[in-house]
Amino acid sequence: MLTNQHSSRSLALAILLGLATVGAAIIAGFLVGSSAKLVGLAIVAVGIVFYFFTKFEQAVLVLLILRSSLDVFSDLQIPAVFAIGLDVLTLLYVIVSLLTGHIVRTDRFWWFLAGWVLLQGLWLILLPLGALGLDASYLPASIREWVRLFSWVMVYLLVMQLKDRLPPQKVISSLFLALLLPIAIGLLQIFQASDRIVGTFGTANTFATFLLLFISLVFWKLNGTQQRWFWLMLLGLLCFFFVSTKTLFSLMMIAVFVLVLITPRLNVAKLISGMLLLGLIIALFASTEFGQQRLASITQTPLLNPDIDISKAILLSQGDSNSFNWRLSQWYLLLNAWKQSPIFGYGLGLSIPVAGNGLLPHNDYIRALVEGGIIGLVSFLALFAAQFTHLLLLIQQTPYGSKQRNLCFILLAMLTSIPVGMITENIWSHTTLFFYWWTLLAVAGWNWNEQQIREDMTFK
């Protein structure tokens, strides 16, 4: 009975793929007279779809690994094309699964995330209606931002389809391959004596948060592994590149991460290890001339200088190169603009035109306030509150000392550091960080015990 059902599903899938191929061939026939490039793209698209459906697990892992290498091609819009392509493949897979009677796997948090992104579509409706601070001419920019958020929902959904097909630890271990090209390019930049290492990313800041996420995964791997030297060496390598990004906000993020990590099981050994790691990172950062200048610049801000108030810092920002004083000026500018449209703001992804200087706010809370108003800021905070709640529930539901519980706690420490970094950085725009974040959050919610039982039964 099961064999016949499986055969019928396979036949239905083969028919759908065949129809898709025939349809693509017909379209290619119409396009051949107009553009050879379009024909080539159609052929590549058919090949990708065929590979995706015939080698699904492998194809998903390849897509996950590939994402970290694409930001270097941002000028060619490759990351955007990749995101749209992944969205299409995921939706196509869901449709085929429903038509063939397969289960489409989700969890409660995915439904919350999907609902949250759907809610953000409200601002796409309000903008052309004239209910926001800008007019409908900015709608394309808002649509691009919404599609970016929607792609995160699709990543989560796609990874959920690997549940019961691949061991969760294998999926996470595969993600470390995403480090290869960024690290290789980073080494090349070091040999070229670049001021700040960016890897395959557009800025050092995005590379720093990407590295911090994988530093957290190395900590997870170090728990109960017999290959401690390998993971300790990788940790040292990632910390070296982390410092080479020369980003000041990242020091605060890793400090919070380590603090949260060691607090629940605080003992002398963990305290010393955590302090040594932080001390080493800060010492490496301060050992460079650029790092010394960044640290010294803090003394010329209201944070450490009582003779400088916020008003004076804003005035100083017009003549000095102090990035923190500049941030105060940018925040002051945007908050004054927000007062003109306080409830619903100006629209998704429109903080740059609101600022008028071509720059993001460098504070994600102000960005949420300006783009979405008070309603948008509340929904932004609700998203992070939901993630905290989700991880805490998973920690309570998983066995003490299990790898799943340890992963959830590592992710909780990472999640705690992200809002801290958002105070002075545009982390919400770090698309690659969240691409892998939602991947890990999806895997963390799997039932690892059931997965282990299935693996044991398979080997028996």
Q: What is the structure's pLDDT at 2? A: 43
Q: What is the structure's pLDDT at 264? A: 74
Backbone phi and psi for residue 66, each to the nearest 5 degrees, phi listed first: -70, -30
Cα(241)–Cα(306) distance, integer angstroms: 34
pLDDT tens digits for range 372-406: 999 999 999 999 999 999 999 999 999 988 999 99
Region 44-62: mean pLDDT is 89
In the predicted structure, residue 18 carries a pLDDT above the cut 60: no
Domain positions in the chain = 27-298+343-459
Are 406 and 223 within 8 A, CB to CB? yes
Region 67-96: mean pLDDT is 91
Q: What is the structure's pLDDT at 382? A: 98
Q: Identify the band that residue 225 occupies on the pLDDT scale cut at 50, 70 and 90.
A: confident
In the predicted structure, residue 69 carries a pLDDT above the cut 70: yes
Region 130-155: mean pLDDT is 94
Q: What is the structure's pLDDT at 228? A: 86
Buried b vs exposed e over 194-207: b needs ≥16 C-beta within 10 Å?
eebbbbbbbebbbb
Region 282-296: mean pLDDT is 67
Q: What is the structure's pLDDT at 1? A: 45
Region 120-143: mean pLDDT is 95
Q: What is the structure's pLDDT at 326? A: 81
More confident residue, 237 or 319: 237
DSSP 263: S
Q: What is the pTM of this model?
A: 0.86
Structure tokens at 393: 């529930």
Q: What is the structure's pLDDT at 49? A: 84
Q: What is the structure's pLDDT at 327? A: 86
DSSP per-residue codes, 90-149: HHHHHHHHHHTT------HHHHHHHHHHHHHTHHHHHTTTT-SSS-GGGHHHHHHHHHHH
Q: What is the structure's pLDDT at 455? A: 47
The residue assigned the tokens 């649509």 is 143
Q: From 435, 442, 433, select the one nearest 404 (Cα to Cα).
A: 442
Cα(118)–Cα(444) distance, integer angstroms: 23
In the predicted structure, residue 300 carries a pLDDT above the cut 70: no
Lowest mean pLDDT segment, chosen from 70-74, 322-326, 382-386, 401-405: 322-326
Region 112-125: mean pLDDT is 96
Q: What is the structure's pLDDT at 90? A: 92
In angstroms, what CA-CA distances link 191 with 206, 233, 310?
A: 21, 20, 41
In the predicted structure, residue 411 carries a pLDDT above the cut 80: yes
First-residue to last-residue Cα distance in the chain: 24
Cα(191)–Cα(187) distance, integer angstroms: 6
Lowest mean pLDDT segment, chosen from 9-13, 141-145, 210-214: 9-13
- Identify which of 284-298, 400-414, 437-451 has the greatest average pLDDT: 400-414
More confident residue, 193 or 186: 186
Q: From 301, 298, 201, select the one nearest 245 (Cα to Cα).
A: 201
Q: What is the structure's pLDDT at 453? A: 43
Q: Identify the band that residue 456 occupies on the pLDDT scale cut at 50, 70 and 90.
A: very low
Share of the chain above pLDDT 70, in %: 78
Q: Identify the band that residue 312 occupies on the pLDDT scale cut at 50, 70 and 90.
A: low
Secondary-structure percent of the chain, ordered helix, strand, coil, rounded to 5: 75, 0, 25
Q: What is the structure's pLDDT at 421? A: 95
Q: What is the structure's pLDDT at 303? A: 58
Q: What is the structure's pLDDT at 32? A: 47
Region 177-193: mean pLDDT is 94
Backbone phi and psi for residue 161, each to the nearest 5 degrees, phi listed first: -75, -10
Give the three-state DSSP class for 183: helix
User: Please, what is the average pLDDT of the chain?
Assistant: 84
Lowest mean pLDDT segment, chosen from 7-16, 123-132, 218-227, 418-427: 7-16
- The number of residues making up the chain comes to 460
Cα(88)–Cα(111) distance, integer angstroms: 19
Region 1-7: mean pLDDT is 46
In the predicted structure, residue 23 carries a pLDDT above the cut 60: no
In the predicted structure, residue 102 carries a pLDDT above the cut 60: yes
Q: Identify the band that residue 263 occupies on the pLDDT scale cut at 50, 70 and 90.
A: confident
In the predicted structure, residue 3 carries a pLDDT above the cut 70: no
Number of H helices, E strands in the chain: 21, 0
Q: 271: Cβ–Cβ under 8 A, 6 or more apart, which residues?
A: 262
pLDDT tens digits for range 145-173: 999 999 999 999 999 999 999 999 999 99
Structure tokens at 355: 């600022």
Are 210 and 70 within 8 A, CB to CB? no
Region 300-318: mean pLDDT is 60
Structure tokens at 132: 């926001």
Region 262-273: mean pLDDT is 69
The residue assigned the tokens 């926001």 is 132
